[in-house]
Amino acid sequence: MSATPDLTDAERARILAKSALFNPPAAQLPDGRRDLVGLTREELADELAGIGEKPFRAKQLWHWIYHQGATDFSAMSSIARPLQERLAERFVIGRPGVATVQTSADETRKWLFRFRDGQEAETVYIPDRHEDRGAVCISSQVGCTLSCRFCHTGTQTLVRNLGAAEIVGQFMAARDAYGEWPSPRGETPRLLSTIVLMGMGEPLYNYENVARAMRIVMDGEGIGLSRRRITLSTSGVVPMMDRCGAELGVNLAVSLHAVRDELRDEIVPLNRKYPIAELIAACRRYPGASNARRITFEYIMLRGVNDSEAEARELVRLIAGIPAKVNLIPFNPWPGSDYRPSGREALERFAAIVQSGGFAAPIRMPRGQDILAACGQLRTDSRRTRPAA
Ligand code: SAH
Ligand code: SF4
């Protein structure tokens, strides 16, 4: 059951139009100091110019903040003590606060991060089962305005967008927890080497902040993740998919989940605005899609709802010619959810049909289910502190 069944598209659009109400808190702290995390290089240089420092200082600070992971100016050994002190009077290098952290039996770890205004979002680290590396699943919003029927986050009406500092801050805080910044001997981090924007929220409804955060993460003099190591998952905000491809060029994952508009309208309500044909057309024109960089179609397997052989065949027909793979995700239940996961047999039959259509179709076994960290299980108790209208 969705918590917002009475929201019409028009009402939802009105909420989005008022999205200024959903903005993150300003970079200024109550004590007047400014958080440097989340600023672009140019903005960082401007801040430093404001205290009479030359542009090379921005480069130096960028390196300390994003390459070394420093959170304290006094650790910045290439900067003289008096300047360290002046910086500390005016600026901070922020991190979200850790409200709770839980580690699953399968080593998946979930943080509940608390931001400066008290709002909260979840981040999940998913270690690779076979290799010494893993992915960090990052949230883009507190809650979500879209209310997909199978998604726990969707039962929480949007509280607000996360700011760039909060988005990049989730990754940096996760790196802090694993000691994953370059060691003094120059060893580079390995564990936290991939980002998936698949946590809470619809990243393409918070595009500006997400783009700013991903540009910071991709900057070669800082964290330096290649765009190939970043995957953005969208429920299908078609116009923003074009921008995302042209401007960021990160890997794209599309939450398809149904092959007929009638069913997709019901389980992914955004489909009423951007139906399947438009969504698939946007995938076909997504720049950089190739066999080496395939688009991922996510398909949640709901028992008796979307898991028939006929639907598998229709899926193959729909995506024919797109360099793509299909992730089959057995539905992950959450308290109060009203679907059941497909059985093993249905999963395997569906996968076999998609594979014989020429697409890889791995079945994604849930990770971190015991701590409600699997896909679609994230939800916080954050509430809106002021009315939306
Ligand atoms: N809003 C974006 C990204 C976050 S959701 C999107 O929808 O793509 C990340 C993925 O988890 C999506 O594919 C989503 O459909 C899937 N998901 C949501 N609820 C789920 C559940 N209960 N079980 C399994 N996957 C789920
Ligand atoms: Fe939002 Fe994605 Fe959940 Fe749908 S699946 S409600 S778009 S977070």
The b/e string for 65-85 (b: 16+ C-beta within 10 A; e otherwise) is: bbbebbbebeebeebeeebee
Residues within 6 Å of ligand 2 by CB = 144, 146-148, 151, 153-154, 201-202, 235, 255
Strand-pair partners of 328: 299, 363
254 Cα to the center of ligand 1, angstroms:
10
Give me Rg for the CA atoms of the chain.
21
Residue 342 Cβ contacting ligand 1 at under 6 Å: no
Domain total for the chain?
A: 2
Q: Are residues 80 and 176 located together in one domain of the fold?
A: no
Q: Which DSSP string corresponds to 55-89?
A: THHHHHHHIIIIIS----GGG-TTS-HHHHHHHHH
Same domain, 88 and 108: no
375 in contact with ligand 1, CB cutoff 6 A: yes
CA 132 to chain centre: 22
Query: Do both 54 and 122 map to the same domain?
Result: no
| Ligand 2 mean position, distance from CA 235 (Å) | 7
Residue whose CA is at the smallest distance from ligand 1 atom 7 = 235
What is the extent of the structural domain holding 55? 38-92
The answer to whether the CB of 235 is under 6 A from ligand 1 is yes
The CATH number linked to 43 is 1.10.150.530
Query: How high is the pLDDT of residue 385?
Result: 54
Q: What integer pLDDT is reported at residue 9 of this predicted model?
A: 58
- Whose CA is closest to 163, among 96, 65, 246? 96
- Residue 52, both tokens: 């009479």
Q: Are residues 222 and 297 in the same domain?
A: yes
Buried b (16+ CB within 10 A) or exposed e, 302-324: beebbbbeebbbebbebbeebbb
Which residue of 153, 161, 264, 271 sits with most ligand 2 atoms within 8 Å of its CB, as the best mutation to test the pocket? 153
Can you give the pLDDT at residue 5? 43
Q: Going edge to edge, which strands form the sheet with 192-197?
A: 97-103, 109-114, 120-127, 134-137, 192-197, 230-234, 251-255, 295-301, 324-330
Ligand 1 pocket test: which of 148, 254, 375, 378 has the largest number of ligand atoms within 8 Å of its C-beta?
A: 375
What CATH number is given to the structural domain containing 293? 3.20.20.70
Specify the ligand 2 atom closest to the Cα of 147: 6
Q: Which atom of ligand 2 is nearest to the CA of 235?
A: 7
Tallying the residues shown for the chain, one arrives at 389
One domain for residues 183 and 277: yes
Are 228 and 357 members of one domain? Answer: yes
Ligand nearest to the CA of 197: 1
* Among 163, 153, 157, residue whose Cα is nearest residue 117: 163
How confident is the model at residue 362, as a pLDDT?
96
pTM as predicted: 0.92
pLDDT at 191: 82
Both 308 and 335 in one domain: the answer is: yes
Same domain, 68 and 173: no
Q: Assess whether 164 and 71 both reside in one domain.
A: no
| φ and ψ of 231, to 5 deg | -125, 125
Tell whether 272 and 358 lie within a shared domain.
Answer: yes
Asked whether residue 1 is domain-assigned, the answer is no
**245 and 131 part of one domain:** yes
State whether 69 and 141 are in the same domain: no
For ligand 1, atom 8: residue with the closest CA = 234
What pLDDT tens digit does each residue of the chain (389 aa) get?
333 444 555 655 555 555 555 778 777 888 999 999 999 999 999 999 999 999 999 999 999 999 999 999 999 999 999 999 999 999 999 999 999 999 999 999 999 999 999 999 999 999 988 877 899 999 999 999 899 999 998 888 777 899 999 999 999 999 999 988 887 666 777 788 899 999 999 999 999 999 999 999 999 999 999 999 999 999 999 999 999 999 999 999 999 999 999 999 999 999 999 999 999 999 999 987 777 789 999 999 999 999 999 999 999 999 999 999 999 999 999 888 989 999 999 999 999 999 999 999 999 988 888 888 888 888 888 776 544 43
Residues catalogued as catalytic: 122, 375
Ligand at shortest distance from the CA of 231: 1
**In this predicted structure, what is the pLDDT of residue 2?**
38
Residue 317 located in a structural domain: yes
Confirm or reject: Cβ of 298 under 6 Å from ligand 1: yes
Residue 200 CA: nearest ligand 1 atom is: 4
Residue 183 lies in a domain: yes
Does any domain span residue 387? Answer: no
Query: Is 379 part of a structural domain of the chain?
Result: no
Ligand 1: centre distance to CA 82 (Å): 49
331 lines ligand 1 (CB under 6 A): yes
113 in contact with ligand 1, CB cutoff 6 A:
no
